[in-house]
Amino acid sequence: MHRPSTRLAAVVLIALVATMLAACGGSSGAAVQKVDAAKAVGMVDSRVVIDVRTPAEYAAGHIAGAQNIDVEAADFAAKIASLDKKASYLVYCRSGRRSAIAADTMAKAGFTDIVDGGAMADLVAAGAPTE
């Protein structure tokens, strides 16, 4: 038979563990904002812009001032590890799939301010300058 104080302690412990797990899981998602192209274009000048496409895609044209860090390259984690985790970032790719992966990976790595700008074509259509 369990004593009431033991049962209460177990319930409190379970509640604390559940709260901690929810906080850890929610903290990475809170760092990523998904915005429409027009809003993302308005943020280009105030954020570090990262093109997460392949180097060949980047060379064919990219948002002006963007740096290229290929999310599917083996060294993606190492390259983002050298970035300032407290800076503000905007990531984009060709269709939005890779930018979502990159943004999530960055959030899990401790970055605190990431905007997923989605597809480059949408950004260009909304007025983003290219080079």
Cα 71 from chain centroid (whole Å): 11
Cα distances (Å, whole numbers) of residue 4 to 10, 12, 15, 126: 10, 12, 17, 63
Question: Choosing from 93, 102, 103, 128, which is the catalytic residue?
Answer: 93
CA–CA separation, 108 and 126 (whole Å): 29
SS3 content of the chain, % helix, strand, coil (to 5): 50, 15, 35
Given the structure tokens 């280009």, which residue do they identify?
Answer: 44
Structure tokens at 106: 């960055």
Task: Give catalytic status of residue 93 as yes or no.
Answer: yes
Active site residues: 93
